[in-house]
Structure 1
Amino acid sequence: MSPDLVTRGPVRSAAELNAAIRALWTGPGGHPAVQLDDERRATYWRLLDELQQVERGDVATAA
């Protein structure tokens, strides 16, 4: 694996990332949010990218 593809440091599990993604879509009272604002949308894409890295195995977990 290329060192360029490896992220060092604390790594969230796929389950933690999925929970964070679901939480973004949950509005007040636990109802699904219809739209994400720009900040939440950016967070959503960062979480998806991190989740894809974990699923591909591109991330090395911290010792």
Structure 2
Amino acid sequence: MSPTPPASGQPRPAAVVNEDIRALWPAAGRELGECERARYELLLAEWADAVRAEVVEAA
């Protein structure tokens, strides 16, 4: 799991970030801890950037 987007300034593909988000969610219904929640919020922001970049690229 990459902690930050690539240094090139290009966001990681949304599908890759989504995999990281899915891997973060624990099985068995346990809630995320404080550190996991912070990581989740960063990943959500990264995912949103990646989706916007992919939409612009497709246009």
Structure with the larger helix share: 2
Distance change >3 Å, CA 16–CA 46, structure 1 → 2: same
Between structure 1 and structure 2, the one with the greater Rg is: 1
> How many equivalent residue pairs?
48
Superposition CA RMSD, Å = 2.4
1:13 aligns with 2:20: no
Q: Which residue in the other structure is 1:25 paired with? A: 25
Identify unmatched segments of 5+ residues in structure 2: 1-6, 55-59
TM-score normalised by structure 1 residue count: 0.62
- Report which structure shows greater RCO (CA 8 Å, sep ≥6): 1
